Chains A and B, each alone.
Chain A
Amino acid sequence: MSFQPAHPLEEIAARLVNLAIGKGASGAETAAAEGSEFVCRVRLGEVEHLQDAGSRAAGVRVLRGLRAGSATTSDLSEAGLRRAVEQAFELANISTEDPHAGLPDPATLGVVDHDLMLHHPALAGLPAPARIDLARRAEESALSTDPRIATSNGATFSLHTGRRALGNSQGFLHSYSSSSCSLSVTAVASQDGLRQRDWWGHSARTLDALESPEFIGRKAAGRALRRLGARKPATVRVPVLFDPRCARTLLGHLFSAVTGEAVWRQATFLRDRLGQRIAPPGFTLTDDATTPARFGSSPCDDEGVQSRRTVVVEDGILASWLLHSYSARRLGLATTGNAARSLAGPPATGHGCLWLAAGPDAPQAIIASVRQGLYVTELIGSGVNIVNGDYSRGAAGIWIDHGELAYPVQEVTISGSLPRMFASIEAIGGDLEFRSSVAAPSILVGEMTVSGT
């Protein structure tokens, strides 16, 4: 192949493709990544942990007809790259022919043509003392909010910069950089010898867009304080309101249930629901990797397929699966540009920015509409079965009594069935914020079992 690498990382990706083709591969795709991270954690006013480091690695997947093999290495010397290609060949040789193996349709390859504003070099220029100061201010703000804030589990400021290069034997070669910073603090509140903790944090592409350390500290402290005196309620079936942070996890389950793998394995509760109503009107879920500056945006997916916007659920109707090229070939559909990979191996399905459209109601109005119910602010555990839709997780939050937040609740589980939970959504909040690559407003689910005493 003749490539024109524009960056040392692209040279590595191109070199791996050329080595694989030179050795007789019928096709090859490669990825190379480098990243640096800065992390500082301040606890009780002192720097507790300071980390500053970087690393690089690359991967190659070779095709010999319909057989594939992959290898990754962090040894990027010529000998290291050659060894990786040999290992990938070894694996392809013992592999079986998969009728759907291959590279993406060349017509789908490409990158979005507008600037996604994923990288802000100015971020890296922020001197270390200023970075530490942000963490210190966030912690100080949390600790000084209320005398019942007993301690902190630290405030962390981190900064990540990375570059990713992708190449394949159809002549695709592209690399892009991204950067972000984040600030978070965990506050511990104490009353009558019992402790509660909660956290707040924010990530952004630029410092200007980051919530202020004082705001983050107060918010973390407020969340920990409102959990003091938490009770365990009686077992009951009631409506459950998920706050935006918890509502995001519901979108995550929906994502898992619409990936191509889950569909062709018949391992999703949505397997036969395409084109059908799965949620009430007003529920519109979009996967979009093309909006500038958002988390989840990228010029192309990890197979080099141009990024796009896919409406997954439109006004309650399941409109599209999320596919990479292999899933698309298996299902007789077109890729939706959702390939995600570590450096080697076959692609898995990933999402760009997955977001649920905001509804008309303020969260306070939704709370006011609930006679008895649970407002969930934290979920733990992973009792979610995408195959049969069974849902059962640990929860903590605030009991809603006659439309008002009455008292904190802990040590309960909430359970239901995902298809019924989505179908019984009664309200979607107007409080949508794009804080990460999954964004949700508050969601009120009609009825679930809250299991306590």
Chain B
Amino acid sequence: MSLAGSWFAHRFGFTTRELESWLAEALVSGGDYADLYFECVERTSLSLEDSLVKTASQGLSLGAGVRVLAGERTGYAYTSDLTPARIREAARTAACIASGPAAMLEAGLAPAPGHSLYEIAPEPPALADRLALLRRADETARSADSRVFQVIASLLDSVSHVLIATSDGRLAHDSQPMARLNVTALARHPGGPPQRGSSGGGGRAGITLFEGARSPEAFAREAVRQALVLLDAAPAPAGEMTVVLGPGWPGILLHEAVGHGLEADFNRKQVSAFAGRLGERVASPLVTVVDDGALPFRRGSLNIDDEGQPTQRTVLIENGILRGYLHDRLSARLLKSASTGNGRRESFRHAPLPRMTNTFMLSGESTPEEIIRSVPNGIYCANFGSGQVDITSGNFVFCSTECYKIEEGRLTRPLRGASLIGNGPEALRHVSMAGNDLELDQGVGICSKQGQNVPVGVGIPTLKLDRMTVGGGA
């Protein structure tokens, strides 16, 4: 992890000495801490629609952000122009936040460790190879069923190079791949209304990720299956009822119900429904929730977070008891804790915030069959769209896109989409059975907070909640 091995040293000839001088510039008016974040993202986006190439785009985004922390104050400036004069100007702008004595860079910058969770292919994939993946998805979806009339397949892959230097001497860099393949299919009975199904996956890898089980054909078949299920679906019932969540992506429940509420910034400011509740019971004893940014190849994983800190596994809820918060450096310092490697940002245009990485619940002991068999009357949610939470009241929603009625312990008819609503500190108390089948999602999650989007992962085993409010259909 020496500077010499970094993309920025290679491309711009940055030296350790230069980085140190910019940090000194940032602390010229005082402050406890400063950091520099350099980022270069190369992205390729292709989409196929009506079997024709609809979008074909490549992009290069390059820039640097300078941050100064002084007590609870943050000064931030960025530039898309990486000449030394502009970087120094950004450092001086960020410095305006501080006044008084400054922390000094004493020992100089030293390379800091990180994980090795993913690799960058030596050569970027050929455009034709990317397009071939989309054609396979398109052909599979179109030939899967005569009721399919529209298919959209898209592939987004990128490599982000980052370099981070901090005034407490940390020098870290990383090259972060990301790939994501999505298929949407529209289907209808002859003359009937259309229904949509979507599927996709990805992670921190190149497009070779789609060579194995996560093939374009598999996503295409899944998208078609979901559209066809909806063709014969009935409106969902309304009111409180027993809800069983399938494994994997329905883990978005955790992300909304507890994840955001445990991000330390909201707790430091006393605006979270979980503020001041460490050590208290917030969930059924069956519930253990962790955030782990150090899983190989996962969409939410990172070798280092966006403050140069190695990611880690953090226990948030252990057997139902609230154990920890997710910290970035600022919240860790102010709450006299340690960073959990959760300082993340969307790009060089944004200052870091405490964010989730891959957030999931550990497996329980029941089999999925036992769980469904135990429900006389309820609904089973196999797939979800997205969710949202009001941090302060703790109320959250998430929207089911594929669900079924459970009658006498069996899945019966498919239901149309419906929102589920609950209250974070309450909802997980109603977990009465947890499956032995933990799955993480396929790798399509995007989390939005204060206008910043970052990729995340979620996961749960099959889960039974005795009580949850389901919004009915029309």
Contact = CB atoms under 8 A, between A and B. Distances in A.
The judgment on whether A and B are partners is: yes
A53 B77 contact: yes
Interface string B178-200: 00000000100000011110000
B375 interface: no
A128 B54 CA distance: 45
Contact of A55 (B52, B270, B349, B395): B349
Contact of A195 (B196, B230, B392): B392
A80 interface: yes
A334 interface: no
Given A53-B90, A188-B392, A387-B196, A412 B60 contact: no
B15 interface: no
Interface in B211-269: 230, 236, 238-240, 269
Interface stretch (B1-9, B108-116, B360-368, B465-473): B465-473
Given A75-B62, A415-B471, A53 B53 contact: no
A303 B423 CA distance: 46
A392 B420 CA distance: 9
A89 B182 CA distance: 25
B79 A390 contact: no
A18 interface: no
Contact of B385 (A52, A151, A235, A383): A383
Given A385-B417, A412-B469, A413-B469, A346 B397 contact: no
B276 to A, nearest CB: 10
Between B65, B385, B397, the greatest number of chain A beta carbons within 10 A of the residue's beta carbon is seen for: B397
Interface stretch (B68-76, B315-323, B452-460): B68-76
A146 interface: no
Contacts of B469: 232, 411-413, 451-453
Between A68, A196, A394, the greatest number of chain B beta carbons within 10 A of the residue's beta carbon is seen for: A394
A383 B418 contact: yes
Contacts of B393: 194-197, 227, 230, 396, 410
Given A72-B60, A74-B61, A452-B239, A94 B399 contact: no
Contacts of A452: 239-240, 469
B149 A267 contact: no
B205 interface: no
A344 B80 contact: no
Between B46, B53, B422, the greatest number of chain A beta carbons within 10 A of the residue's beta carbon is seen for: B53
Contacts of B59: 59, 71-73, 344
Contacts of A2: none
A6 interface: no
Contacts of B397: 380-381, 383, 393-394, 413
Interface in A27-67: 43, 46-57, 59, 67
A412 B421 contact: yes
Given A96-B53, A383-B399, A393-B397, A267 B76 contact: no
Contacts of A59: 59
A166 to B, nearest CB: 17
A420 interface: yes
Given A74-B63, A90-B127, A390-B417, A453 B240 contact: yes
A270 to B, nearest CB: 12
A296 B144 CA distance: 43
A411 B423 contact: yes
Contacts, number: 268
A227 B392 CA distance: 12
Contacts of A449: 238, 471-474
A49 B74 contact: yes
A380 B57 contact: no
Interface string A194-221: 1111000000000000000000000000
B88 to A, nearest CB: 14
A197 B271 contact: yes
B374 interface: no
A49 B240 contact: no
Nearest to B97: A50
Interface in A243-300: 265-267, 269, 271
Contacts of A57: 61, 80
Nearest to B193: A388
Contacts of A195: 271, 273, 392-393
A55 B58 contact: no
A340 B73 CA distance: 37
B60 A387 contact: no
A394 B395 contact: yes
A84 interface: yes
A326 to B, nearest CB: 10
Given A50-B75, A153-B271, A381 B80 contact: no
B96 A50 contact: yes
B387 to A, nearest CB: 6
Contacts of A413: 238, 397, 418-421, 469-471
A442 interface: no
A123 B24 CA distance: 32
Interface string B90-134: 100100110000000000000000000000000000011001000
Interface class of chain A by DSSP: strand
Interface string A404-445: 000000111111110010000000000000000000000000
A249 to B, nearest CB: 13
Contacts of A72: 57-61
A192 interface: no
A317 to B, nearest CB: 21
A69 interface: yes
Nearest to B275: A195
A266 B194 contact: yes
A95 interface: yes
Interface in B351-390: 351, 385-390
A94 B131 contact: yes
A344 B60 CA distance: 12
A232 to B, nearest CB: 8
Contact of B55 (A88, A154, A346, A416): A346
A259 B53 CA distance: 20
A52 B93 contact: yes
B73 A50 contact: yes
A98 interface: yes
Contact of A73 (B60, B76, B128, B152): B60
B436 interface: no
A410 B74 CA distance: 34
Contacts of A415: 238, 418-419, 471-474
Contacts of A186: 271
B150 interface: yes
A302 B106 CA distance: 51
A297 to B, nearest CB: 23
Interface in A73-96: 73-75, 80, 83-84, 87-88, 90-92, 94-96
B78 interface: yes
A66 to B, nearest CB: 10
A381 B63 contact: no
Contacts of B325: none
A451 B399 contact: no
B195 A387 contact: yes
Contacts of A151: 269-271
A154 B474 CA distance: 39
Contacts of A128: 96
A110 interface: no
Interface of A: 43, 46-57, 59, 67-75, 80, 83-84, 87-88, 90-92, 94-98, 128, 150-151, 153-154, 186, 188, 194-197, 227, 230, 232, 235, 265-267, 269, 271, 344-346, 378, 380-383, 385, 387-388, 390-394, 396, 410-417, 420, 449, 451-453
User: Top 10 closest A-B pairs, CB basis?
Assistant: A413-B471, A394-B397, A381-B397, A417-B474, A55-B80, A383-B399, A91-B56, A197-B392, A72-B59, A235-B239
5 contacts: A52-B77, A71-B59, A196-B393, A413-B420, A452-B240
Given A51-B77, A383-B471, 10 more contacts: A47-B73, A53-B90, A90-B127, A230-B393, A394-B395, A394-B397, A411-B395, A415-B238, A449-B238, A451-B239
